[in-house]
């Protein structure tokens, strides 16, 4: 099957009460870990590349890696998505080079400018059979070139969503309801601590999500910054020479709840980074004599596959949907 757009996927996900995982890709092992997991569980898939990924791997390699994955798993419907396109030029470049979905993130600009740039991208993309995600509201945290201080984040204003979607013509909308980019999503003072001393973050704003859904019935909503930062991998990293203090993510039961509702796409990046790093760190610690990348990357890739299988089954609910 060639790369597809997310139109059909989102429609089924919305009606079926589940979400599609959008996993960030940066190299071959990550692509393999994710696609092997999705194939085993018969789950549709969005693979997304950020500006940082395109800089690191070169877009040509990323597109070709996906072609490889499709050849190995021809039954898998896969979307290749641009994560956080900074402007029209970046989005156009991806539309012209084989991506089937792009995100224009002008959320840091004033409302009217966000509308104008998102509309421009939507018109160009649609002419080429590509779908578009835009964003309203601002997430805190750090993701590659997107950096927003905790105090500068703002929730999506439900009063703006209908006008925004109508005037831009975009196909899905990322909203800010309290998720955050990176592995340190919340400052310790925003959280409480449980008996084990692990941080428990403030709950997502489901009231905003519900209000957005009421104003945009049937319209696919996207959650960014939705890694859960699994503490078992943080622990492995810290036990094998790492120093990740107070890493914290979004609890998976809240993501499951969002997936049952209007959220059709959930972005997961940090969890894969943690899994790969945990596998490599543990391997080096236990086998200091090893220097063959195939040995330690095998462990990292296996962790990615395990994490993605868990997400598909227990968080997204997208297994057996192809
Ligand atoms: Zn994001």
pTM for this model (two decimals): 0.95
- The distance of Cα 245 from the centroid of its chain, to the nearest Å, equals 23
The CA distances from residue 173 to 2, 17, 58, in Å, are 25, 17, 27
- What size, in residues, is the chain? 322
Measuring CA to CA, how many Å separate 86 from each of 50, 56, 107, 174? 10, 17, 10, 14
Q: Is the distance from CB of 103 to CB of 133 less than 8 angstroms? A: yes
- Taking the centre of ligand 1 as the mean of its atom positions, its distance from the CA of residue 223, in whole angstroms, is 8
> What does the alpha-carbon distance between residue 222 and residue 205 come to, in Å, rounded to a whole number?
14
In whole angstroms, what separates CA 153 from the centre of its chain? 18
Ligand 1 geometric centre to CA of 195 (Å): 31
**Å from CA of 7 to ligand 1 middle:** 20
Q: How far is the CA of 290 from the centre of ligand 1 (A)?
A: 36
Nearest CA to 87 out of 142, 46, 129, 124 is that of: 124
- Res 86 pLDDT > 70: yes
Find residue 100's DSSP bridge partners.
none
- By CB atoms closer than 10 A (0-12, 13-18, 19+), residue 2 is exposed
Q: How far is CA 262 from the centre of its chain?
A: 16
Residues with catalytic function: 83
Q: State pLDDT tens for residues 55-78.
A: 999 989 999 999 999 999 999 999
What are the residue boundaries of the structural domains of the chain, listed by start? 7-182+203-228+250-270
Please tell me the distance from the alpha carbon of residue 121 to that of residue 15, in angstroms, as a whole number. 27
**Cα of 26 from ligand 1 centre, angstroms:** 15
**pLDDT tens column, 174-219:** 999 988 898 888 888 888 888 877 788 888 999 999 999 999 999 9
**Tokens 């063959």 sit on residue:** 292
Burial letters 4-24, b for 16+ CB under 10 A, else e: bbbbebbebbbeeebbbbbbb
Query: What's 7-182+203-228+250-270's CATH class?
Result: alpha beta
**pLDDT tens digit sequence for 14-44:** 999 999 999 999 999 999 999 999 999 999 9
């Amino acid at each position: 099957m060639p790369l597809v757009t997310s139109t059909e996927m989102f429609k089924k996900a919305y009606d079926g009460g589940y979400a599609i995982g959008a996993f960030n890709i940066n190299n071959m092992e990550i692509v393999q870990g994710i696609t092997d997991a999705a194939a085993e569980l018969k789950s549709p898939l969005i693979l997304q590349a950020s500006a940082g990924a395109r800089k690191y791997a070169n877009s040509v390699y990323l597109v070709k890696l996906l072609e490889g994955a499709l050849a190995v798993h021809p039954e898998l419907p896969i979307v290749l998505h641009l994560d956080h396109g900074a402007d029209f030029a970046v989005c156009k470049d991806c539309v012209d080079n084989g991506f089937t979905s792009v995100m224009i993130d002008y959320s840091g600009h004033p409302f009217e400018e966000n509308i104008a740039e998102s509309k421009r991208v939507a018109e160009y993309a649609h002419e080429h059979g590509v779908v578009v995600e835009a964003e309203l509201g601002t997430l805190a945290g750090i993701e590659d070139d997107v950096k927003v201080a905790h105090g500068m984040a703002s929730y999506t204003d439900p009063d703006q969503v209908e006008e925004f979607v109508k005037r831009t013509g975009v196909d899905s909308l990322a909203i800010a309801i309290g998720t955050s980019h990176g592995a340190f999503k919340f400052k310790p003072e925003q959280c409480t601590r449980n008996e084990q001393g692990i941080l428990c973050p403030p709950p997502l704003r489901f009231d905003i999500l519900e209000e957005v859904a009421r104003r945009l019935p049937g319209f696919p909503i996207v959650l960014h910054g939705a890694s859960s930062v699994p503490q078992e991998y943080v622990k492995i990293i810290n036990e094998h020479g790492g120093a990740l203090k107070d890493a914290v993510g979004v609890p998976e039961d809240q993501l499951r709840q969002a997936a049952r509702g209007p959220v059709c796409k959930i972005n997961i990046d940090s969890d894969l980074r943690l899994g790969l790093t945990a596998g490599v760190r543990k391997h080096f610690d236990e086998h200091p004599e090893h220097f063959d990348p195939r040995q330690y990357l095998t462990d990292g890739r296996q962790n990615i596959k395990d994490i993605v299988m868990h997400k598909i089954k227990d968080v997204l609910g997208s297994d057996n949907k192809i």
